[in-house]
Amino acid sequence: MPILTRLDVMMALRGIRGTELSERVGITQANLSKLRTGKVKAVRFSTLEKLCRELNCQPGDLLEYTPD
């Protein structure tokens, strides 16, 4: 898929662990794991907004388009 997630990178840069982020955002650790590995087909804007708020970043910092 040409959309890559960079959630792991942003989490590492901010020094935040998955457990803490999932609690702050209000999603399960399993769903956060799927987001981190790119094994999702969709992301709600409300979830993306919460991730950006907690990681102090922009949506483009979390998602990257790479042509096939």
Domains of the chain, first to last? 3-56 (1.10.260.40)
- Please give the average per-residue pLDDT across 46-60, as a whole number: 97
> pLDDT for 1-39, tens place per residue?
689 999 999 999 999 999 999 999 999 999 999 999 989
Enter the pTM of the model. 0.91
- Please give the average per-residue pLDDT across 43-67, as a whole number: 96
Cα angle 55, 24, 17 (rounded to 5 degrees) comes to 65
Distance CA 22, CA 58 (A): 18
